[in-house]
Amino acid sequence: MVAENHCTDIATVNEVPLPRAKNIYGSCTGFPVQAALLNEIGEKMRMKKKLLLMIGLVAAGVSASCAGHPELKAFPAASNGMERYVIVLPHRERGEEDNFKVEIIVGKEMLTDGVNQIRLANTIEPRPLKGWGYTYYEVTGYSNTMSTMMAPPEGMPMVKKIVFAAPLHIAYNSRLPIVVYAPNGYEVRYRIWEAAKTFSQANIE
């Protein structure tokens, strides 16, 4: 007489079919080893779902941060031959911002002799954004260079590097984007300066 088998040959974990182990008599085993295996697989799948959810949230956050500053719509697109660069500063409270300055610098890749100090003759000019009361910045002048006059060693190869113009320091304002219009082929970089926490005493002489 054959005993009736009341269990199925297929089990599921999170709706994924898994084959059941059988003993030598054809009945489903209830050994702890099998239960532990199923629990382990189920836990791995739950962790995978959590990971995918976290990746989705991170991607959504990145997309939101790259969407642009809400006040950027006030600034026109770059004209022909120019590019618009946008700097969005980390948020700081109004009382904190006086302790910071922003340095903007523009540069262009050029061939140099690798010895002399070279600077572009361009300048970064502040311009009023009419009708808004905002300020944008425009790179003006020609890409002529100023250089020291040291003689490089004979046969020294030319070196390709970024040559910068004079920097511009502006007030820190995290409520508005910093918009710079530069000619094609230029780069715009920036760094943030922070003042010391204390003042030094001047001497009377």
Out of 22, 39, 65, pick the residue that ends a domain.
65
Residues facing 111 on adjacent strands: 160
Rounded to an integer, what distance in angstroms lies between the CA atom of residue 95 and that of residue 141?
36
For 160, the domain range is 70-194
Task: Count the helices and strands in the chain (H runs, E runs).
Answer: 2, 12
pLDDT of residue 69: 86
Residues 89 and 187 in one domain: yes
- What is the tens place of the pLDDT at every residue in 42-59? 666 665 555 444 434 333
Residues 112 and 29 in one domain: no
Domain count, the chain: 2
Asked if the model's pLDDT at residue 2 lies above 70, the reply is no
Asked if the model's pLDDT at residue 147 lies above 60, the reply is yes
pLDDT of residue 39: 62
Asked if the model's pLDDT at residue 124 lies above 70, the reply is yes
Tell me, yes or no, whether 57 lies in a domain.
Answer: yes
Backbone angles phi, psi at 82, to 5 degrees: -125, 160
Tell me, yes or no, whether 3 lies in a domain.
Answer: no
Residues 138 and 41 in one domain: no
Out of 26, 43, 65, pick the residue that ends a domain.
65
The 10 Å CB-count burial string (b at 16+, else e) for 93-128 is eeeebeebebebbbbbeeebeeeeeeebebebeeee
Residues 88 and 59 in one domain: no
Tell me, yes or no, whether 59 lies in a domain.
Answer: yes
Residues 18 and 78 in one domain: no
Q: How confident is the model at residue 37 (pLDDT cuts 50, 70, 90)?
A: low
Tell me, yes or no, whether 5 lies in a domain.
Answer: no
Asked if the model's pLDDT at residue 23 lies above 90, the reply is no
Q: Give the CATH number for residue 89.
A: 2.60.40.550
- What is the tens place of the pLDDT at every residue in 12-21? 444 444 444 4
Residues 158 and 130 in one domain: yes
Tell me, yes or no, whether 58 lies in a domain.
Answer: yes
Asked if the model's pLDDT at residue 129 lies above 60, the reply is yes
Tell me, yes or no, whether 201 lies in a domain.
Answer: no
Q: How confident is the model at residue 121 (pLDDT cuts 50, 70, 90)?
A: very high
